[in-house]
Amino acid sequence: MEKHAIIVVGGGPAGMAAAIAAYDRGVTDVVILDREPHLGGILMQCIHNGFGLHKLGQELTGPEYAAVYEKKVMERGIKVYYEATVTHVSPDKVVTAQSRQGILKFQADAVILAMGCRERSRGALNICGSRPAGVYSAGTAQKLMNCEGYMVGKKVVILGSGDIGLIMARRMSLEGAKVEAVCELMPYSGGLTRNIVQCLEDFGIPLYLSTTVAQIHGEKRLEGVTIAQVDERRQPIEETKRYIPCDTLLLSVGLIPENELTRACGIPMDPITNGALVDDICQTQIPGIFACGNVLQVHDLVDYVSEEAERAGIGAAELILNGAASGEAIPTKPGNGVRYVIPQNVRKTGNDVSLFLRVTQPFGKVKFTVTAGDQVLAVAKRLKAAPGEMEKITVKANMLENVTEPIVVALEEL
Amino acid sequence: MERNITCIICPRGCPMTVKEEAGKLVVTGFTCPKGEKYAIDECTNPVRTVTSTVRVSNRKDTMVSVKTAAPVPKGKMMDVMALLRKTAVEAPVSIGQVVLTDVFGTEVVITKAVD
């Protein structure tokens, strides 16, 4: 069995950044396994710009952002197995993959899980009606259009105002399609504000909040959808039903971390994030197995994916070089107005610790308070907060020194 | 006249207000100078970067992504698209390679390498 210090599962933005960071920290025997014939993951179909503003200080398109990291991978001579689909990761860190060369088996000292996420599909929504062609997940349509040059439709309705749906509204408009409506079940958009402006307002596309697609019509090809406003229980209101003729329905209704390998490995999961429970270096509860990027929590910005992955890469390298860090783990918990907090465990290692979280609903001006018992560890104010925008709050190392009780992050509206 | 503008320079999305005071545009609500400039530009000369794809003529079913090297006037986005529809490139291409010159004061460049 081939042996490597670190095996990274997935060569998207998270996998590449983790591998590079581990290498630069001193563990050079790093291998990346990816199921595609190229690195970059989902970035390769995200041809719009806006990537890298935080992390690289420039505004890049998805493929350009990926190329920055791919170059670093190549410069370091990090070994990449392409078209190698990992089928199993065992708790003792044996990684099994299917490839053109047959079944590959590796023994690793540390494994970094960076499989990303996938889209929620029509089947998960229970939309009634027939099953015609022309119903796509937004990301599938994005790949067909941007990579293969296949125009998926001319008259479009989009369900879900997540970022991919918004980006596709603009993309299809630019390519000459008419986007009739974007419907959002919730009373607020799940996408970034800048995408609402650039993708909808610029093209005069209406966004209907508290609205869903109640029925799909058409035999062979989609002919139209019935949309309806929803009540507080998110059920369609009969009197508000309205028919929109269209040949294409795009679904942008949420992303699901792709954690089959994680679950099969027996790694404890967080039911809210649908990702693994991790500590401040992205280590799961199985020592030596790390998780980062969208497989850990669905991010809105790739810049934060890269940062998270770097922590995982450095963590894995340090574990190999120095052994497990001592120091007790303190659990974190979401408080008022906060849906989840990552990491779920913080060790006192003498370093500052960044907490990542999402709020439960849109808020105006808020104050986040990080407490442990009656001790206030950090305070952060924001002009606004929304579930679509991840928040980061850093707790200084010296504040953590005397903490014994769980760390709670809560917000109050100002 | 007052106009509310959401900044799109970065994902922070600052809510800004532009007012005309004594013949001058005054911006409030921004957190960085880029935002202030964006708000004024948005009222005087709004611009957008166009990202799209062009066909790779010597590869089957392959598109390569492109962008305008600098933003173009917002009203010219569809004109850029019309130019791109008539454009094809031959692989190999590399990032930054110029596909079209003199497109509303800028160029169209490749954003993805095709070997």
Q: Are residues A80 and A3 in the same domain?
A: yes
Which residues of A are less than 8 Å from B113 in CB distance?
Answer: 63, 67
Find the residue in B nearest to A50 (Cα).
B10
Among candidates A47, A48, A193 on the partner chain, residue whose Cβ is nearest the Cβ of B13: A193
Give me the domain span that covers residue A278: 1-119+255-324
Q: How far apart are CA A262 and CA A311, in angstroms?
A: 19
Tokens of A106: 């590796």
Among candidates B13, B63, B112 on the partner chain, residue whose Cβ is nearest the Cβ of A148: B63
Q: Are residues A150 and A219 in the same domain?
A: yes
Place of tokens 């959002």: A184
Q: How far apart are CA A304 and CA A302, in angstroms?
A: 5
Among candidates A53, A61, A174 on the partner chain, residue whose Cβ is nearest the Cβ of B81: A174
Cβ contacts of B27 within 8 Å, gap of 6 or more = B16, B17, B18, B35, B36, B39, B40
Mean of pLDDT values over B5-9: 83
Q: How far apart are CA A387 and CA A390, in angstroms?
A: 7
Q: A34 to chain B nearest CA, in Å?
A: 19
pLDDT, tens digit, 9 for 90 and up, residues A9-23: 999 999 999 999 999
CATH number of the CATH domain containing A164: 3.50.50.60
CATH number of the CATH domain containing A356: 2.60.40
Which residues of B are less than 8 Å from A152 in CB distance?
Answer: none
Q: Are residues A273 and A392 in the same domain?
A: no
Q: Are residues A102 and A161 in the same domain?
A: no
Contact map slice: A 54-83 vs B, CB within 8 A: 54, 59-64, 67
Contact map slice: A 115-174 vs B, CB within 8 A: 145-150, 174
Q: Does A339 touch chain B (CB under 8 A)?
A: no
pLDDT of residue B11 exceeding 70: no
Q: Are residues A127 and A102 in the same domain?
A: no
Q: Are residues A161 and A113 in the same domain?
A: no
What is B30-79 written as a DSSP string? -SSHHHHHHHHHHHH--EE--EEEEEETTSTT-EEEEEESS-EEGGGHHH
pLDDT, tens digit, 9 for 90 and up, residues A207-239: 999 999 999 999 999 999 999 999 999 999 999
Domain boundary among A305, A324, A343: A324
Domain count, chain A: 3
Domain boundary among A222, A253, A284: A253
Q: How far apart are CA A212 and CA A226, in angstroms?
A: 9
Q: Please tell me the predicted confidence (pLDDT) of residue A155.
A: 98
CATH of B51-110, one of 1.20.1250.20, 3.40.50.2300, 3.10.530.10, 3.30.465.10: 3.10.530.10
Q: Are residues A174 and A92 in the same domain?
A: no
Helix (H, G, I), strand (E, B) or coil at A209: coil
Q: Please tell me the predicted confidence (pLDDT) of residue A396.
A: 94
Q: Are residues A96 and A150 in the same domain?
A: no
Q: Residue A29 in contact with residue A320, Cβ under 8 Å?
A: no
Q: Are residues A340 and A296 in the same domain?
A: no
Q: Are residues A293 and A336 in the same domain?
A: no
| Mutation target among B65, B68, B78 for the A interface, most CBs of A within 10 A | B65
CB contact under 8 A, A53 and B62: no
Q: Residue A264 in contact with residue A286, Cβ under 8 Å?
A: no
CB contact under 8 A, B11 and A192: yes
Tokens of A207: 């966004």
Q: How far apart are CA A307 and CA A46, in angstroms?
A: 19
Q: Please tell me the predicted confidence (pLDDT) of residue A86.
A: 98
Q: Where are the domains of chain B?
A: 2-44, 51-110
Which residues of A are less than 8 Å from B106 in CB distance?
Answer: none
CB contact under 8 A, B62 and A384: no
Q: B60 to chain A nearest CA, in Å?
A: 9
Q: Are residues A130 and A47 in the same domain?
A: no
pLDDT of residue B10 exceeding 80: no
Mean of pLDDT values over B78-88: 96
Q: Does A96 touch chain B (CB under 8 A)?
A: no
Which of the residues in chain A have pLDDT under 50? none
Tokens of B91: 């692989």
Domain boundary among A253, A278, A294: A253
| Mutation target among B51, B61, B66 for the A interface, most CBs of A within 10 A | B51
Q: For A270, what's the count of Cα atoms within 13 Å in the CB-facing half-sphere?
A: 27
